[in-house]
């Protein structure tokens, strides 16, 4: 069955002419057509668009110009701009908007013959942790369809877990790649801030946002990272460095490495079942020859509160462009201001409006110093504290999410609980370091994610460590009970 294969395996079979690119695209499109109604991963699937791209990929193969992922389909979070294909951010305010250009990541995928496979569901404008804030539909967790896949990149994560696509692209502002990867039992990797161009990603919190891959193995995620990362003059925050090198990912052993466990990430809020699995994984690391030390990073406890000043502040500014004039549908209203007001009132959902208001407040004269500036100071402190730890250790280990997948609707009335789900992931967005989540075991039949963090720019090292950890963990690549 083609859809069971890893991306690397599909790529090898295509290169060896055992499979054609069109055959691979059709297998995934057919599976989506048959089963996605039960999961709600995709907002848009354009069969002809995907098949066209598959045919172009096959031309590359036929000319001997293919790479390791040529012909491999990739699902895209619907906040990534796709030329000619609707891009909504799961918001009514962008319904019907068709970008006239490709995001850099999409352009690079096409150049490498990686096949775009439709647009996945998300929390509106990537604001959320459950994908329940989508204006259009629910997405269900492949391990238990009554449960959330996490968020905000829930559609992408569930798509990879449900074998609708071997790979997917997400975006991570406070954890939106790693947290849904954890809840869906797959690999999710947020590169160092600036290693992947954000050109064409609809901006949420520009100093925090980073695009990254989902896969069912670390190797697959690394291969996709190699395609989409690297210098890009169209994003001024993109670091002028080579793409993440996936070839370095295979080699290596864990013996002799040193890892830190920040005690602030193992606090009382951690679900006992999650704690047990993470501690078991840490024991495995010790057996593999990793020296594990306990550390304290006191500023971690301020992460969520600090994030909820900075992210809404940047969002309030970024989302000012949605006025009904330039993008998407337009509501009737009196004069220019009336049109803008009515469009925004009708187009944005509750969570997005709340954040625009909080962000506008935090940035307003008189409050800027008390909130925004103070938050930036905490951020600087956090960066210093993490840098100090990385002087002495190779990587940091923690849970990804404090709990496993929760029932859909279970946390709707508890916005604080939802926000606390990013407690362990937010620090990586604050200081830009790379982070990866992989499955380390199960609690009551639901996957538990292990988060690994490395110093900024140590992406290859992090992926190599993650690859070794994956091989050491018995449960890392177990599959959900899907049709």
Active-site residue numbers?
A: 77, 152, 176
Q: Cβ closer to ligand GLN: 3 or 131?
A: 131
Binds ligand GLN by CB under 6 A, chosen from 81, 87, 120, 129: 129
Whether the CB-CB separation of 217 and 163 falls below 8 Å is answered with: no
73 binds ligand GLN (CB under 6 A): no
Smallest gap from residue 204 Cβ to ligand GLN (A): 6
Q: Cβ closer to ligand GLN: 70 or 153?
A: 153
Tokens of 37: 């109604």
Whether the CB-CB separation of 66 and 7 falls below 8 Å is answered with: no
Binds ligand GLN by CB under 6 A, chosen from 19, 115, 117, 126: 126
Q: Which of these segments, 173-181, 224-232, 255-263, 432-440, binds ligand GLN (CB under 6 A)?
A: 173-181
Binds ligand GLN by CB under 6 A, chosen from 173, 192, 316, 464: 173
127 binds ligand GLN (CB under 6 A): yes
Buried b (16+ CB within 10 A) or exposed e, 262-287: bebbbeeebbebbbebbebbbebbee
Tokens of 261: 């466990």
Distance CA 402, CA 275 (A): 8
Backbone angles phi, psi at 76, to 5 degrees: -120, 130
311 binds ligand GLN (CB under 6 A): yes
Tokens of 309: 């000043």
Number of residues that bind ligand GLN (CB under 6 A): 13
Distance CA 223, CA 80 (A): 19
The rounded Cα 156 to chain-centroid distance in angstroms is 8
Distance CA 189, CA 214 (A): 7
Q: Which of these segments, 174-182, 218-226, 383-391, 395-403, binds ligand GLN (CB under 6 A)?
A: 174-182
Smallest gap from residue 234 Cβ to ligand GLN (A): 21
What is the C-alpha end-to-end distance of the chain, expressed in Å?
12
Distance CA 51, CA 57 (A): 10
91 binds ligand GLN (CB under 6 A): no
Smallest gap from residue 325 Cβ to ligand GLN (A): 26
Smallest gap from residue 311 Cβ to ligand GLN (A): 5
Binds ligand GLN by CB under 6 A, chosen from 175, 324, 347, 456: 175
172 binds ligand GLN (CB under 6 A): yes
Where do contacts with ligand GLN occur on this chain (CB under 6 A)? Answer: 126-129, 152, 172-176, 204, 311, 422
């Amino acid at each position: 069955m083609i859809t069971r294969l890893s991306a690397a395996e599909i790529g090898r079979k295509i290169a060896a002419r055992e499979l054609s690119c069109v055959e691979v695209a059709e297998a995934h499109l057919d599976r989506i057509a048959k089963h996605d109604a039960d999961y709600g991963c995709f907002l848009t699937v354009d069969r002809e668009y995907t098949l066209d791209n598959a045919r172009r990929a096959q031309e590359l193969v036929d000319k001997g110009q293919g790479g390791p992922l040529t012909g491999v389909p990739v699902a895209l979070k619907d906040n990534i701009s796709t030329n000619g294909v609707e891009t909504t951010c799961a918001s009514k305010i962008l319904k019907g908007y068709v970008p006239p250009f490709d995001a850099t990541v999409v352009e690079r995928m096409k150049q490498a013959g990686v096949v775009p496979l439709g647009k996945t569901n998300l929390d509106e404008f990537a604001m959320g942790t459950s994908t329940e804030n989508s204006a259009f539909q629910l997405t269900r967790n492949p391990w238990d369809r009554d449960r959330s896949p996490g968020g905000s990149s829930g559609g992408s994560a569930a798509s990879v877990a449900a074998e609708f696509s071997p790979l997917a692209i997400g975006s991570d502002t406070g954890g939106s790649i790693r947290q849904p990867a954890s809840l869906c039992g797959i690999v999710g990797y947020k590169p160092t801030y600036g290693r992947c161009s954000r050109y064409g990603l609809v901006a949420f919190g520009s100093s925090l946002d980073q695009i990254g891959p989902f896969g069912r193995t670390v190797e697959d995620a690394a291969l996709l990272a190699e395609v989409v990362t690297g210098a890009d003059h169209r994003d001024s925050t993109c670091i002028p460095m080579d793409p993440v090198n996936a070839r370095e990912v295979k080699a290596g052993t864990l013996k002799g490495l040193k890892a830190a466990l920040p005690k602030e990430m193992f606090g009382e809020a951690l679900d006992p079942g999650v704690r047990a699995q993470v501690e078991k994984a840490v024991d495995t690391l010790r057996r593999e020859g990793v020296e594990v030390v306990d550390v304290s990073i006191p500023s971690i406890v301020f992460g969520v509160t600090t994030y909820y000043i900075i992210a809404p502040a940047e969002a309030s500014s970024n989302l000012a462009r949605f006025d009904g004039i330039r993008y998407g549908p337009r509501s009737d209203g009196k004069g220019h201001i009336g049109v803008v007001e009515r469009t925004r009132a009708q187009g944005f959902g509750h969570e997005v409006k709340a954040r625009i208001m909080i962000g506008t407040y935090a940035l307003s004269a008189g409050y800027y110093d008390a909130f925004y500036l103070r938050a930036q100071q905490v951020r600087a402190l956090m960066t210093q504290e993490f840098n100090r730890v990385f002087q002495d250790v190779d990587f940091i280990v923690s849970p990804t999410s404090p709990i496993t997948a929760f029932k859909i609707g279970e946390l709707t009335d508890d916005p604080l609980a939802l926000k606390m789900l990013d407690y362990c992931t937010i620090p990586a967005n604050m200081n830009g370091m790379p982070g990866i989540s992989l499955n380390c075991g199960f609690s009551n039949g639901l996957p538990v994610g292990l988060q690994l963090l490395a110093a900024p720019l140590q992406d290859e090292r992090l992926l190599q460590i993650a690859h070794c950890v994956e091989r050491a963990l018995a449960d890392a690549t177990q599959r959900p009970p899907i049709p």
